[in-house]
Amino acid sequence: MRRLFPKKGVIKRLLTIARRRNGEEEEGLPGNGVSLPPDGHSPEKPTWRCFSYEEILHSTRGFHQDNLVGRGGYAEVYRGILQDGREIAVKRLTRASPEGQKQKDFLVELGTVAHVCHPNVSTLVGCCIDCGLYLVFQFSSHGSLSSLLHDERAHPPPWELRYKIAVGVAAGLRYLHEGCRRRIIHRDIKASNVLLTADFTPQISDFGLASWLPSQWTHRTAAAIEGTPGYLAPEYFTRGVVDEKTDVFAFGVLLLEILSGKKPVDGAHRSLLSWARPLLREGATAELVDSRLADGSYDKDQLYRLAFASSLCIRARAARRPSMSEVLDLLAGGEASLERWKPPAEEDDEEEDGDEEDELWELDEHEDCDSPVFSLSSAASS
């Protein structure tokens, strides 16, 4: 078997991360050119360790096909059981890419996820750099939100669970944007990157595209547009501009997916956004609800909050999307927050300004997407 030895620089970077975990100062490491994130504000410090290849091989029964639980664009994920009985998920990077790129992907994810600690963000258990590159996570026994919503063999999730998941993901995203000392932009918020624990707590996972946004920057420009069609914010796919609002947009699409059980882009290339926008505009919230749910099996107030929040998140102009704190307040907050978000009367006039951003919306699919897409009066009566 060919053994993969990561380049010297990679090992050094990994060690740097490990040392920071142990409270050592980064400055003491000569030639360290990597900008590593500081620990988040969480009082609980994450703990992770390096595994030997033999350990993860044994835990996954030699990466047995029966243990394969998921496959994404970059990796295969296997269920494993450690000797102490703990269940783990071993993420083996598989994307066919130059070795240097693979190592970069690995370090991006490790460098981000090793420093986050929140109940709604997946927890790193460790990594392995022997015979490949592996990340080891706590195992989420209910798989991904995508399989819960779209697997035809599964029962459609009941309303209460959908609401719990929506609020949980919002809390996780708020933590990434505002709770960490440095802002983390996830860049790939979608249903298959939300995992569900044994008690269906949602956890944001897959930090392969995540980026750190230094406090003095409002945004950054991505060289390559990566992400998933159907969830991409307009300023990102047209100009490569990334900031927290890129995630807010994707979260708005995810809310619609949770409500409706429809995929962001279905097999016939129909877009969830184009279907939902007219309904949001008319306030026809009941029509957004997954047709597999029995009539009246949802909470009207919660539906209203979810629909209204999504209508704000999917606005074309990033500046007019709410922050995740505001979204969370809308989803789970009191009456006052709803009042605060009433679209102002003059908003219609603003839409007609026809500035540069409006021109981005020539695509059919995104027609009218920055209009006040949610009608409060009609929603209240639905």
Ligand X SMILES: Nc1ncnc2c1ncn2[C@@H]1O[C@H](COP(=O)(O)OP(=O)(O)O)[C@@H](O)[C@H]1O
List active site positions.
Answer: 188
| Binding pattern for the stretch 12-51 against ligand X, x by CB under 6 A and - elsewhere | ----------------------------------------
The yes or no reply on residue 140 touching ligand X (CB under 6 A) is: yes
| Binding pattern for the stretch 58-77 against Mg ion, x by CB under 5 A and - elsewhere | --------------x-----
The yes or no reply on residue 113 touching ligand X (CB under 6 A) is: no
Pick the binder of ligand X from 143, 164, 201, 270 (CB under 6 A).
Answer: 143
Q: How many residues bind Mg ion, per CB under 5 A?
A: 3
Report the nearest approach of ligand X to the CB of residue 139 (Å): 5
Site for ligand X in 52-71 (CB under 6 A): 69-70
The yes or no reply on residue 75 touching ligand X (CB under 6 A) is: yes
**Dihedral sign (CA 324, 326, 330, 332):** positive
Report the nearest approach of Mg ion to the CB of residue 298 (Å): 29
Site for ligand X in 305-344 (CB under 6 A): none
The yes or no reply on residue 193 touching Mg ion (CB under 5 A) is: yes
Task: Report the distance separating Cα 313 and Cα 298, nearest Å.
Answer: 22
Phi/psi zone of residue 201: left (φ > 0), alpha (ψ -120 to 50 degrees), beta?
A: beta
Pick the binder of Mg ion from 55, 105, 130, 206 (CB under 5 A).
Answer: 206
Report the nearest approach of Mg ion to the CB of residue 206 (Å): 4
| Binding pattern for the stretch 202-231 against ligand X, x by CB under 6 A and - elsewhere | ---xx-x-----------------------
- 91 is known to lie in a ligand binding site: yes
Could you tell me if 37 and 180 are in contact, meaning their C-beta atoms sit under 8 angstroms apart? yes
User: Which amino acid is it at 84?
Assistant: D
Pick the binder of ligand X from 144, 228, 302, 371 (CB under 6 A).
Answer: 144
Judged by beta carbon distances under 5 to 8 A according to partner kind, the member of ligand X, Mg ion, none in contact with residue 174 is none
The yes or no reply on residue 127 touching ligand X (CB under 6 A) is: no
Task: Report the distance separating Cα 199 and Cα 180, nearest Å.
Answer: 25
Judged by beta carbon distances under 5 to 8 A according to partner kind, the member of Mg ion, ligand X, none in contact with residue 311 is none
Binding site for Mg ion (CB under 5 A): 72, 193, 206
Report the binding-site residues for ATP.
91
Binding site for ligand X (CB under 6 A): 69-70, 72-75, 77, 89, 91, 122, 137, 139-140, 143-144, 192-193, 195, 205-206, 208
